[in-house]
Structure 1
């Protein structure tokens, strides 16, 4: 991978518009509707063409347009209003953390490590639920005033962009992230040189630069190996998210864990607690053991206890197959030179990550490492907590399963990032502003009954119309990309209905999520979709991992079903699922469908985003829905059953799903 060569092509901002740069480089705009409206009014077409990226917008807009805006008193008034709101947000003192910890420090005290962060459409360093959750975590921490610093990796290739070939088979492309057009800055020292940290690999040191992404009040630091001093194979370590083989994975995780701790030290960020959000970040614990020995002269066992007290682990994985496992020989290659520095022999070190410490052939598990080196561990829903205690029971000899020290903190979502503008305005009118700043206040939400049914329904219908318009544009563009006949493109622009009951299904196409459960009885589905008295349509989106051929086959099956003349116009697959697509779907669908194999959905948050917009959930009792479901607030597919026979489970639950749709939902 080539080193970056940056060209700053930003036009000169007239003095009255200088604040635009500060607003563009702080991601608070991503969840503030008024700031988005400000950039939108600068140039509507360019805003969309740049992927709703204010930094790229400022680099592409004409000087003439900027000069005109600098003379436009209406735009300047809007800019002043946005700037004042931004200043008030950044200096706010009566936020949740200050109220709970009036004498607490505002300096970062929690380091939040994650392999991916989904913050906004134009910062493509996420793949799915883990990254979206991490991004929402940072935004919520900013709103609440939690003194937290994020640590991740900057992937020049990001995660893949999806398109489908004529047969409906997923294809991938990896456009490079253009750093000079992204809302982040290279961290430099007092002399103006890039801050650089190193991680020692078997072939020599890997040099890492650090990028800063400002997320409201929160700083996110992203490590980048695409540095000119590195060998080509080292520059590619942070090339792609979840790309490459196991050796590439261990190299990425060393950069995240070891490099991340060293970056915080180099920047003078003195965090007291280190949070490992999934096992990818586990090597931070190894680096902190090394530090504790070097700084305090501790033995290995003392250093383990010293660092464990300030480390937290969140597991998101409900099945052993989802855990990173490294061969002992690979561990020797990348950690053999650290054994002496850690004051430990090979077997004792590898035992930290072995499910059975006595088995020399056992692979090194990142989840086991994190559990052994954390003082607190949690799953991401109540049910997932039970699953995790069962899955890791053998690590705690003599303990009953219920005594395994893994709790749960059910995932959540950052409401302002996912609620539609219309719904937010409705909440403002009837709930007041506290719905954003005090979401746990039951008195605020008691006012929801004051919203007139007619007004709520009109608001939702407008969002469905917007979703249909978006889907039509995307479907037409997809067909044009595949060189489809003009007649098909025209048909796509008229497909779907603004009045039909709209089901939404959007998520990663992993096989356990059973994306094709609704296709179990195609004829029954055809009848359901095409009932002239009660028409139904379904919009689908999602990506399969590039190496998951079974997941790709599920996508292909939906594409082939959608081409059935009987359901044409009732089924649409929207390619290249990302945060922008997700927002349209969770805001505009009528019913949100989720039918994973219970209990393999650790939490799931797309249904939460839909519910925040007044969309009803139709879901298997798994993840968050297992504890949130109440009769009258959506539907449950099946009960709490778990099956030994997968085919039998699919048959029973597909039948239950059809029954619910036919008799209750539609």
Structure 2
């Protein structure tokens, strides 16, 4: 390993001696003045080094620093940034003000990838960027949060596109001494390492620290001489390798992550796993509880109570699942010591229908609070995992939703920050969830907002031309072909951007379904339209790579050359140019496969107008005035849906979007009005400050309080809850309906009858239930029927039945009053389910007896 280059051993002139402190904290990545400061050292190198300040410090000639320390402009900028950093570091935060009593209880946030900035390339796409934005807002808000992840020697991959449009995945290997990371140190100042048992051997992990404002992220690195080559490669590449590598990586992330927290001496009360990759954290924590003397079922209860699970995947095939023997092999040391609980551990992740060990099942079984990442995705997740929770309505499945957001200081263009600061109240950036503040955006003159937007558009076009020139030079294209890109694109033309992972459900090539209409749009001399595409396909995703080839092929046609552009090597740097500089953000996935889709949120706060299928976040963000909706029949087959969506795209472009953009001459007042509407309605809602506040209020603090209650008095309440669940599960089969009287004599209604006005008359329904050993007060008896709503949707109505008489042999009679037309079996059903004031959710114990 290369000797670490860090601010601990670098000497700079006193005037600028804290530069390394800035370089080694990712705070620089969302502070525009800090980014400008490092650019002042050498702008060409700064761009060449992908805005990596550590590499700037490491590779700038020592003779440069003394003159810089006497350069008044540089020193002035330096002092400004240091002042900002000190104020940020010491300022009072939202969490301090809101939850001062919980400042010393850490929240552990596990994720397989983190995307903070292009200078630390350990991310592949949306999941990682979301995790990075989550940590940034946690820092801004002052949460006591610690990130846990893996440090990938080769990151994801660099994307090259050859002359034929074929994606080529270029492997890279990073020198950690040139990244904004540092070795984590123990109490004696030695580099921190942990050990993890993997199958029949021990894997050594070195721990690295990434400073993210006030927050720290710890990354595990297996690339050590003590390990075998196979084990060293476990942290070589994100999402690489076969299933053996994948399960081993996930054991390192989950179980190794818990060991890392212990080695750091961190008091952790809440464990948040961002997707199922880290679900093995539960195994390590259960083992800890067993080692401490807790029974298995109590240990599971404690781990469930203290875990929060966020799922991002709306399709069953996207959830990692492994053959059970494979899981048993890699966890063999665990089972060797605690073999009597092997079946219990296996059951936690068992997908019985496929006889696989499913990581999402493990996460669901070991997390009391779970959520999807948009309102629609929450619904999709409840539908997907309904059978997992017994015979209940999908709306009752205990999976909530917290809609994703994006980190505003990272994604909002500096030009717009300055403009907003001129017209919005001075606290707008730190109070960005206040919708009233954003309404004042209306006072910004249309020409000021448009001028700023055109600046960003021109900056984007310069970047695009540079990207294309480099692509052509590398592919040995003739000089005239390299230079012709200087004439590509126009800042006056309506510019539409599409940039995301090239997965087939995202349908990047949908707009190519009608090349003749596309031709008429892009080649209209008076009202031209131009398209920009960017994204990577996973190296194993052949259909995704075929999409790239198709886009490239169309972009090379004479009639589309210079007007349809495919960019290569999509990363966070390119994403900023795109979401800040295009006019329209296009998103046309197959609904409901876009769990959230945060790129459109980044675009929205920059005044870029969304044009999207009503999927993910847009389904709740769109209000009819702040963008456009691509229409199609929900539930239609793929071909029909593609036809309908394509027609909708072209109809809206031809009849609404293009005319609106071009109808006002030099200053498109109506277009700017819609830009403002988009910003004011979306920016205060779809940001990670709001998202992290939601996680804190709805999951972290409730989880913390419940966990503390369970573990006090030597785990007294945890033991009672676990014993109660075991008792209920063992005896639930005794619960039986003996009799029901639906009072139908008052009115006879066949199942085919139209349901009349239910407000006219009521009747009493009674039921007799035998409970066996279970106390009836540990259950609730409910009557369920469906009621038509004004929107013609049917909504479940739940009526709690009252216990009116205790009979012999633990038999209880119940009654309820319902609309008189309802008949049992045809219109309503009854159910019994267990309840407890100590449950986190109503259906925490998924046992339901129905009639």
TM-score category of the 2 structures, normalised to the smaller one: over 0.9
**Matching residue of 1:237:** 234
1:2-35 deviations in whole A, cap 9, x for unaligned? xx23364987422222100101101101000111
Partner of 1:39: 38
What's the counterpart of residue 585 of structure 2? 592
CA deviations over 1:531-565 (Å, ceiling 9, x no partner): 11101101110000000000000000000000111
> Which of 639, 645, 649 is equivalent to 1:653?
645
**One of 340, 347, 370 as aligned partner of 2:343:** 347
In the aligned structure 2, how far is the partner of 1:610 from the partner of 1:500?
18
Q: Specify the SS of the correspondent of 2:271.
A: strand
Question: Is 1:101 matched up with 2:93?
Answer: no
Question: What's 1:311 paired with?
Answer: 307
Give how far 1:188 is off. 2.0
| Counterpart mapping for 1:124-523 below 5 A | 124-295=121-292, 297-339=293-335, 341-342=337-338, 344-356=340-352, 362-523=355-516
State the alpha-carbon separation in 2 of the partners of residues 202 and 408 from structure 1.
Answer: 36
Q: Map Cα deviations across residues 154-206 of structure 1 (whole Å, 9 max, x no partner).
A: 00000010011111010001211111111110012243432111111123100
CA contact (8 A) 2:370 2:399 kept: yes
Q: Is the contact between residue 502 and residue 589 of structure 1 (CA under 8 Å) also seen in structure 2?
A: yes
Q: Distance in 2 between matches of 1:610 and 1:35?
A: 23
Structure 1 counterpart of 2:81: 82
**Which deviates more from structure 2 when the two are superposed, residues 609-618 or residues 523-532?**
523-532
Q: Distance in 2 between matches of 1:73 and 1:392?
A: 62
The answer to whether the 8 A contact 2:196-2:255 is kept is: yes
Q: Aligned equivalents of 1:291 and 1:339: distance in 2?
A: 14
TM-score, normalised with respect to structure 2 = 0.76
**For each residue in 1:599-623, what CA deviation from the matched residue of structure 2 results, as whole angstroms up to 9, or x when unmatched?**
0000010000000100000000000
Q: Is the 8 A contact 2:116 2:133 kept in 1?
A: yes
Aligned to 1:70: 69
Relative to total residues, which structure has the larger strand share, 1 or 2?
Answer: 2
What's the CA shift for 1:108? Answer: 5.3
Counterparts of 1:494 and 1:7, CA distance in 2: 46
TM-score by length of 1: 0.97
**CA 1:7/1:347 → structure 2, altered by over 3 Å: closer, same or farther?**
closer
1:348 deviation in Å? 2.7
| Distance in 2 (alpha carbons) for counterparts of 1:231 and 1:222 | 20
Distance in 2, matches of 1:658 and 1:621, equals: 16
Measure, in 1, the Cα distance between the counterparts of 2:636 and 2:294: 50
2:378 aligned counterpart, secondary structure: helix
In 2, Cα distance between equivalents of 1:617 and 1:142: 29
- Contact kept in structure 2, 1:467 and 1:584, CA below 8 Å: yes
Larger Rg belongs to: 2
Distance 1:34 1:657 in 2: 40
8 Å CA contact 2:205–2:222 kept in 1: the answer is yes
Instruction: Extract unaligned runs of 5+ from structure 1.
Output: none
Gaps of 5+ in 2: 659-851
Q: CA deviation at 1:104?
A: 3.1
Partner of 2:555: 562
- CA root-mean-square deviation: 1.3
1:219-265 deviations in whole A, cap 9, x for unaligned? Answer: 00001101121111111100000000000000100000000000010
Q: In the aligned structure 1, how far is the partner of 2:578 from the partner of 2:101?
A: 43
Question: 3-state SS of the aligned residue for 1:132?
Answer: helix
The question of whether the paired residues in 2 share the 8 Å contact of 1:475 and 1:574 is answered with: yes
Contact 2:210 2:217 in 1 (8 A): yes
In structure 2, the partner of 1:14 is 13
Aligned to 2:763: none
Shift of 1:632: 1.7
Q: Distance in 1 between matches of 2:303 and 2:562?
A: 58
State whether residues 12 and 63 of structure 1, in contact with CA within 8 Å, keep that contact through their aligned partners in structure 2.
no
- Structure 1 Cα separation of the partners of residues 124 and 340 of structure 2: 37
Instruction: Quote how far apart the aligned CAs of 1:567 are.
Output: 1.4
Deviation at residue 457 of structure 1 after TM alignment:
0.5
Aligned to 2:91: 92
